[in-house]
Structure 1
């Protein structure tokens, strides 16, 4: 089978499209024939080895593991003898290491049935971005009905899910995006949309009970100014210019600033949760949430897909197909 592999840290051009043996599955695993896999900033970091903190535990000089990719959608091709949750032929989506490949071995608790109304490309776009948005709003942000919620970076992978989820939680939602994405964000259900090229949400006098900051492009002082007293900021993304720490430096500065503020300011990384994946599946089935896929790339053009996502202006998600 074909699989994307990284044999050295560095630019996406160093990635290889290898011919490898299909993975063997354990008694508690399933074999999924991957139809689509989405690209996340996480994959860029695991390709380039930057920030250098990524290499701790992963190989300081060369990567210890060659596989790439996390989000996937496909069809169950085989099951281990202890697996009862899925059968051969079931359409599934979820998260598994090495998703940029034609087949992946994965535990059933990292999968959910694919919503029938979604294509494989749409389903593959959901897991990591959807879990990040859900857990950021609900678990770290404590979102409640009637709150004023702002999503900074509303047109990206996490942001498009966050706008829809915040509406599903009963919030009044404001999305911040560029000019070309205003109608997209409004169409996702945002009550208000701010074009960041024309207005600065930290200076217009409006305040919010909860800010989910995916873009991470404002100072701590500016973000505090946009929060109500007692409001909450959840920082998902941040500047990636520092090759040693990436967005970690911004997060640490924010946490220090939080010690001297009445506002709650926290960072987050999504964690896998089977219950949350099933919750997303139910929201997709009900039509309350829908994925936004900007474009697809064939497996052989994974390097181009990674460069596109690294540009920082993706409209929704970028997806790789096994064509």
Structure 2
């Protein structure tokens, strides 16, 4: 093995703060052990938690030593499997999610990942599209099904519906049979309506606590980091309804504040699940769910990608291309679109 085969490109974070702590580096290529698969990464994505962790929030408290490689999502090709007859054999095109900083992140050319976090990638999606699915989709899916237990006919309100998690949540809630109200900026109203929301409230025009009432489940993707949006979202619920708060920047008295209003509230953190991602792949390939990728940037432009997320510059997701594409997606986008019933 020559030196090039022992190393890889990666974007590292050298400390807490801004873009001055991000740099591209040549680092040792990781080795997969036990049940891990080693994936050659063709694409990844940026999530808000990556930006928060870089700044010192998010999961930064778990970082014991810098530099670190961030990034949760990936699409790529298995180059080492745990054993010869493993379900994720060498050469399999896969997508999945990992959990930095406990494990190495995906803003790198190679990543070792527990096999339970990985599934064959949707055939209808490009590598960049597939890499934008895992964390955001799993968050939306688990919030609405595992925690909210959304049933047909229930009223569901999704705050910040034009973002990565939000744009999946609108579609999933509709697929579950809910009556969906969503909020976004005025410029994104048509985009969110097209995802399937029956009613869209522009939060920069109307105050959500007055415009939205009587919901069974409210999915809050903002928290109290801006204009006490999380606290105000409690007023959107019917008595006994549930607020699910995704941002780590929820607020300390959330549960007590909810109880005082006769509603329920819980924080939420996603769980990696290859089995759920395998089910998701079928939904994407049948056109039941779609992913919106607002921008695709190369790894060397990771700083720009992070800043897009920090400033909430786009809709849906932002992807990073890292290595060579694994394989072109099947040419059935038109058929998938025809099957869309959101």
Fold similarity call, TM over 0.5: yes
| Residues 29-66 of structure 1: CA deviation (Å, up to 9, x unaligned) | 22211111010111112222236xx443323xxx3562
Give the match's secondary structure for 2:320.
strand
Give the equivalent residue in structure 2 for 1:142.
149
Contact (CA 8 Å) 1:151, 1:211: kept in 2 or not? Answer: yes
Q: TM-score, normalised by structure 1?
A: 0.89
Determine which of 69, 72, 81 is the counterpart of 2:71.
69
Question: 2:46 touches 2:71 (CA, 8 Å); kept in 1?
Answer: yes
Q: Do 1:71 and 1:125's aligned partners in 2 also have CA atoms closer than 8 Å?
A: yes
Change (3 A) 1:265 1:23: same
Q: Give the C-alpha shift of residue 183 in structure 1.
A: 1.4
3-state SS of 2:300 partner: helix
5+ residue gaps, structure 1, are 238-245
Distance in structure 1 (CA, Å) of the matches to 2:191 and 2:46: 20
RMSD: 2.0
Establish whether residue 14 from structure 1 lines up as the match of residue 16 from structure 2.
no
For residues 220 and 14 of structure 1, the distance between their equivalents in structure 2, rounded to whole angstroms, comes to: 30
1:221 and 1:126, CA in 2 relative to 1: closer, same or farther beyond 3 A? closer
Deviations 1:234-267 (A, max 9, x none): 1123xxxxxxxx714x2x2211212323211111
State the distance in 2 between where 1:144 and 1:23 align: 44
Deviation at 1:197, TM superposition (A): 2.2
Is 1:302 aligned to 2:307, yes or no?
A: no
Which position in structure 2 is the counterpart of 1:3? 10
Matched, 1:230 2:240: yes
For 2:69 and 2:234, the matched residues in 1 are separated by: 40
Number of matched pairs: 308
- Pair 1:35–1:226, CA change in 2 (3 A): same
- Are positions 1:188 and 2:195 aligned together? yes
Shift of 1:72: 0.4
Question: Which of these residues, 34, 56, 61, is aligned with residue 61 of structure 2?
Answer: 56
Offset of 1:188 from its aligned partner? 0.9
Return closer, same or farther for 1:185/1:219 CA change in 2, 3 Å cut-off: closer
| Structure 2 portions without partners, runs of 5+ | 1-7, 99-103, 324-342
Deviation track 1:255-285 (CA, whole Å, cap 9, x = no partner) reads 1212323211111111212332223223222
Farther-moved stretch of structure 1 (218-227 vs 88-97): 218-227
Tell me the alpha carbon deviations over residues 142-178 of structure 1, each in whole angstroms, 9 at most, x when there is no partner: 2111011111100001100000000111101111111
Aligned residues of 2:168 and 2:291 also touching (Cα < 8 A): yes
Question: Hey, what does 2:257 align to over in structure 1?
Answer: 257
Three-state SS of the structure 1 residue aligned to 2:211 is coil
**Equivalent residue for 1:162?**
169
Taking a change above 3 Å as real, the CA distance of residues 25 and 221 of structure 1, as seen in their structure-2 partners, is closer
